[in-house]
Structures are given as C-alpha cells and as structure tokens.
Structure 1
Amino acid sequence: METSILTEGLVKRYGSTLALNGVDLAVRSGTVRGLLGPNGAGKSTAVRIMSSLLRPTAGRVEVAGFDVVRQPMEVRYRIGLTGQNAAVDDVLTGRGNLEMFGKLYHLSAKQARRRADELLEQFGLTEAAGKQAKTYSGGMRRRLDLAISFIMAPQVLFLDEPTTGMDPRHRMEVWRGVRELVGKGTTVLLTTHYLDEADQLADVISVIDHGKVIAEGPPAELKSRIGGDQLDVVLSNQDDIGRAAAILAAVAGVQPVVQKELSRISAPAVHRAATLTEVVRQLDAEAIVVSDIGIRQPTLDEVFVRLTGRDVPQEELV
C-alpha cells in the first residue's frame, strides 16, 4: 500500500500543554482521510505540522515521501493547503487572485484565465470576479481560498474545516471539487465539524481526542461498532429528557446517547419492532409526549458522542 501521509509517534507540546500525544496515521494515496475530534483535540495542530508550518516536538512525519522537518521545501512543492482562515490578496480581485496563483503554478496567461473562469463559476463567484477581495463577505473569501487550492491537482491536499459557514449548495460544490481532485490522484486530509461531510467524502475516518487517535476505520465500520439499528426519540418537551432516557436505558439495556440541544435520545434497537413498541408503551404510561420516534441506521453523530463522551460540536447543529 502506497502512503502519501505517514506520522509515527507525533508529539507536540506547548509548554506544559500536550497538544499531540503520539499520533500515528498512514493515509493511502488517492484517498480521503477524515480527521474528526472535539474542539481542542489537536486536529489543526496536526495539519500545521504535516504541512510543514509547525515543527513537531517528537515523532516522524512524511508527506509525499518527504520528511517535513528535514525536507520542508520538497513537501511544500507537492501540497495544497486551505486553513481555517482565508489567505487571499485583499487588493486583487477574485479573478486576479486566481490568475496570479495559476501563473505561480506555471500556467500560461491563457491557461490561468481559463482555469480562473472555471473555478469562479464552480464556486459561485462569477458575478464578484471583478471586485476586490477585501469587499468579499467571509463566506465568499472562504470560497475564493478554496478555489485557489483547487487550481492544480496537488499530490496531497490539506483541508482544515473547509466549508465552515457555507450554505448547503456551496458545500456540495466543494464536495464535488474534492471528488474530482481525488479522481485525478490527489490524497486529501480533511478536518471538519460537519459529520455528514466526513460521511460523504472520507474513505477512512480517524477520531482524535486529547491528542491521540482513539478510533479509526471506514464510516460504515465505525457506525457498526456502536451496534445496528438505532431507536431515535425526539421529545416535545426538553424537560422530559431525564425520564425518557431512563426508559430507553431500561428497555435497551445500555445508556442512551442524549443530545440535549435537539431534545433527542438514541439507543440500540436490537429487536426493532419489539423495542419500539415497548418504548412507546412506557413513554405513554409516563405521559411523555414525543414529536418523532422511529428506527434508523446509526450516524457518525452517535459514533462521535460514544467515542469522545462529548456532544457533537455546535457547528454541526446549525
């Protein structure tokens, strides 16, 4: 198996704070690796080290076959990076930014103009192409930043929270662009708060918490680890969560996953219809009103909560 990203025992300390505590990753070439974890888990620190922007305290990191500490320029020549903050030239127009970067990637002036036109249309920026980037909204700047990283197909592309704040239509455009790059052989490492994004794009997901990888596998495999079908109950009154959770725990035999902000409780439904019938009977007996109830397949939300013991990051809930 050819790997484009390899970390072994990756450690990063900031004084007495241990941001990364022995991260091991092996990302197969031409695939998408999702890196999930709570805020402060170490995801962005790992990306900065892998993209040669930050030196590790200990451990080894290779990207595209080169050591990021000893051969940083070789690494930078082969990667693309979109960080959490858009890095565009405010004075240039949207088109000017894209054409400038196209020329830096050794495209001819004609090729750079053609590629700029394609990306402006793809990311919904055609109407604003002639405006200075400093006049763009935050979401537009983010889309322009992503468009720049898509100019060429880098060997490895790091996407750190690429679609935060985007509307669904533009998120789907980014997903399409990522799939196109991967189809051309690019390896993508993606950090995201949107669990559906990881589910849609990632071939393998690594869950990181407290600076360590605590679980890893394809999305379907991670979901299977918390059981099969799930009973999902959404309450009309959030004050009933405690009593309803106790009922689900007694019927399912395990502690349910509670998402208080959504008034939602989930638990394994081993016997499907029998489990659903018994829960409905007990909720009715306790006069607990539900707005929705049913059996469904588990999601990455449950995986995240079960593995980390924390709620899904707020960005996922909006």
Structure 2
Amino acid sequence: MSDTRRTDLVLLLVALVWGSSYLSAQTATSALPVLVVLFVRYAFSALACLGLVAARRGGPRGARRWTRDEIRAGVPLGVTQAAVLVVETYGVAHTSAANAGLIISLTIVLTPLLDRAGRRGGLPPVFFAAAGVCVLAVGLLMSGNGFHGLRLGDLLMLVAALVRAVHVVLVGRLTARRSIRPLHLTAVQTLVGSALFLAPAAHDLPTLAHADTATWAQLVYLALFCSVFAFLAQTWAVQRTSASRASLLLGTEPIWAAAVGITLGGEHLTWLTGLGAALMVGGTYWGQSVERAHRRAAEPMRTGETAVTTATVPGPEAHSAPAQRLESATAQRLEKDTPCPTTTLTGS
C-alpha cells in the first residue's frame, strides 16, 4: 500500500470514528445520565493525555512541562469545549445520531462568519448562497416526516453548532503567535472539562456501578478512540498530506454519522431528511471551498504585512474541517485551508 493511500485511509478512519461518536453517545446516554457520560469521557481522556505527555522520555525534561501560554489558552478553551459537548450530548440524546452529525456540520459555514466579524473584508455573496443551502438543509432535517413536532435534540444541535463555531474561532485567536503543543493544550482542556463536570455528575456517579459491559465499552470508545486515538491519528496523517486533501477527507464525518446511524442504529431517513442530508453535505463543501478560495485570493494583498500564524506543533472536537472536531491537532497543517484550527474532542 502506498504512503498516500495509507494516509488517506487513516484520515477516513478518523472521520468514521468521529461520525460514529454520535451513535455511541446516544447509546451511552440511554443508560447513564448525560453529565456522568461527559465526566467519564473527559476523565478517561485526561488520564490518557497525561500518560502520553509523561511518556515523552526521549526529549528534554522540559518537554513534559506546560508553558504559561498553554495554560492560559487551555483553561478558557476547556470551558468553551465543555460547553460544546454538553449541548451536543444533550442534543444527541434527544434526536437521531444521523441528524446530530449532519446538523452539527453547520459549524463549517458558521465559523467563517464569526471569524470575520469585526474584521475588514467580508465574504463573497456566493458564500451566503452556500450558507442558505445549509439552512434549507437544516429545515428539511428537522422536518422528520413532515413539518410537525420539531425535536428538542435538533434545536440543541443547532445551538451546539453555533457554540462550536465560537469555540473554533477562539482556538485560532487564543493560540495565534504562541508556541503551543497540541497534546499539552488538549491535556489542559480535558482536565478543565473533568473539573467542570465532576460536581454536577457527582450525585449520579454511583449509577456507574450498575452500567453493563456494553455501556462501559461505549464510554471507553468515546474517550480513547473518538478523542485520544483520533487526535494522534489525525496529527500523524495531516503531516503527510496536503491541507486540501485532509480537509476533504475529514469533511466526510457527517456522511459517516448518517451511515452509522442508519446501518447500526436502525434509523430511517424520509425523502425529506434524505434531501436535507444531501444538501447539508453539498452546502458545507461548497461553503468551505468558497471561503478557501476567497482567503487565497486575499493573500497576495497582504504581502509585506507581518505574518500572523498559529504557532503550534504541526499536527483535532472538527470543526471547520470536522472535523472539531479533542479539536486543536490540525492547527498548523490545516490553517491554510480552514478558517481556524479544530479541537480534539470532536463528534458528540
């Protein structure tokens, strides 16, 4: 197998894992309170990240220590990331996994809009046409079998898409001009999330004693595969391919979310929701390509200005290229093709 094909398969696997996280979260929250699921996911992820940081014995001792910039950025980003996941997880508990994965991809068009708020140079009109397609898609997805009885979960996923877009913009702005290592930043974020969810989940933590093997498997999958594994795999892969190719492959996350929900979750798409799914995927890809072309066209105009880049080690919750998708792993490699870096706790 060629290196290119191997890299492509790894990125597709990351997108598949992220897409499957919605059904896993839905299954876990059907057996345990949402806040317990979130606390366990964060706690397991934090332990894994701390273990990986401690295992870096090959480098200097200082490589295992956190810098002031990593803590200053990680704490507020940990708060916003926790906000994203709490709304997402409550949302996926009250809607289908397919709808959750598709609606959250609205972040892809919301992020450029928020990122350019208050800045010079707006987006081209065609971008708003793509955004309009996505809005129409959301309406169709929320219609179900007709425009009756909108599900609370769909509305929560809309809110989650907006909150995630805010988070992604903050990732870009808080890490700009700073030397920040993605793994260390992720560790701070997961520790903050663990601390935030500990008290609210404490009352229901005894329910874990009654969780069956399947539920524990879902919790481990969410923490170690959808978060830590996806982070490491994406970090490895994005260093070995072009940003455009990585963005394209990671952007298949909502497709996988729908596929997993239908094939494994027994969910069904009506012709309206099927049309909505197609429009959402097409609209987000269209909007992403328009925004990318607009940014590239503007680059020659900035010649001579001081370059401002995200100073992270090359190398996710994703979500301009869903990706947000533990969401900051692609910060350096994807910054040319996505509005902002993503974070590593992607999916639901």
TM-score if structure 1 supplies the norm length? Answer: 0.25
Larger Rg: 1
TM-score if structure 2 supplies the norm length? Answer: 0.24
Higher helix share: 2
